[in-house]
Structure 1
């Protein structure tokens, strides 16, 4: 009977362990220094499962007009540390539409509008991250 219950709970445990966005205050490098923002390749319809896939860490002062090709237009969720700001652009070279994120979690970039018809899901091609 206990084994049957464990099998029923296993999918729930795996789903919750799959991905969960960190709290903005928890963004730290292994040496304890602050990370400005973390950008994630995956999101989910369930907020508790967002911030999955690969992780791109933006350090304070990172000015990246040409995001690495394997990250270009691949970011779906992000977290910005306290007292930090992440500026993003839709085109390489800091061209196109832009948006500014202050401290907090953006579980799904598809919920952030970009112009009349678009959104920011899989649309980031450049960024600049600063902290006070």
Structure 2
């Protein structure tokens, strides 16, 4: 119980540091616009996409559904983080070392790896459940 209270206290202290930094360094209008944009993005884009993906995967067998949904969530998070790099935000022609890597290709490789891992998990669950038919109660008298 004491560990939990200490963790809550540390969390509240960090929240306080963050709020102090926002109040001291960020103009209120800019913060409000960012906060409103985040709420609109979450409620207007993220929630409908997640609900749609859940609906689309609802007809999959229950043994596969979790792995497919996990792969979709992971792929979406990776894509959200990598998208600014793929689109080249911050790239400047006069400074070629700023974003020097082929981020689109690298994102495709990571998404392919996520797909392969999810497919392997689904295959392991589907084929792992199939057992050869045989007597189930060998030692029992009938």
TM (normalized to structure 2)?
0.23
* Structure of greater Rg: 2
TM (normalized to structure 1)?
0.24
Which of the pair is proportionally richer in strand? 1
Which of the pair is proportionally richer in helix? 2
Q: Which has the higher contact order (CA 8 A, sep 6+)?
A: 1
